[in-house]
Amino acid sequence: MRVQLCFHVVNDLPEDTDLLSYCHEVGLNALTYEKNLTYYDINTGFLMISYEDFGASAFDKEMTTLLIVDDYGNLWNCILIYGSFPYKHFKIGGEWKRMVAARRIAVGDRIKLQCDRHGRDEFIFLTLDH
């Protein structure tokens, strides 16, 4: 059995195809946080976020849900937990563990988180550097 496939070729593509890929549109006043992932971040199902460096400016303590948009445009439904013992911090859980497995994220990988100032919306944008 022979199958004929119709295809469409786009002519005149630029040599630099980076312009065609997905990218986050974060405002000029965006907060940025970079972190090398630890054993805890990968193996417990929770991403630890520093309160002083990023959490206090990005999240409200009352927030409980969060949507992470990764650098491929995938949306991950996560939970946000504020903790104060032994120090103030936030933990991101929920589908974080699933994203770690799906994206093959490993200890030592570097992530960059970006969001608008002070929890104005529930979206965090994540860029992964293996």
CATH number at residue 63: 2.40.330.10
CB 49 within 8 A of CB 34: no
Coil/strand/helix, residue 6: coil
CA 112, 118, 119 angle in degrees (round to 5)? Answer: 80
Q: Which amino acid does the sequence have at 37?
A: L
The first and second tokens of residue 79, run together, are: 């939970």
Q: Name the helix (H) or strand (E) containing 40.
A: helix 39-43
Structural domain includes residue 60: yes
Structural domain includes residue 6: no
Sequence-distant (≥ 6) Cβ neighbours of residue 41 within 8 angstroms: 35, 47, 48, 107
Structural domain includes residue 93: yes
pLDDT at 26: 58
Structural domain includes residue 3: no
Structural domain includes residue 115: yes
pLDDT at 116: 78
pLDDT by residue, tens only, the chain of 130 residues: 565 655 555 666 566 655 555 565 656 568 899 999 999 999 999 999 999 989 988 888 888 999 999 999 999 999 999 998 888 999 999 999 999 999 999 999 999 999 877 656 688 999 999 8
pLDDT at 10: 60
Structural domain includes residue 103: yes
Q: Considering only CA atoms, which of 121, 127, 113 is closest in space to residue 60?
A: 121
CA 50, 35, 18 angle in degrees (round to 5)? Answer: 135
pLDDT at 30: 81
Structural domain includes residue 61: yes
- The count of domains in the chain is 1
Range of the domain at 123: 27-129
Omega before residue 86 within 30° of 0, cis = yes
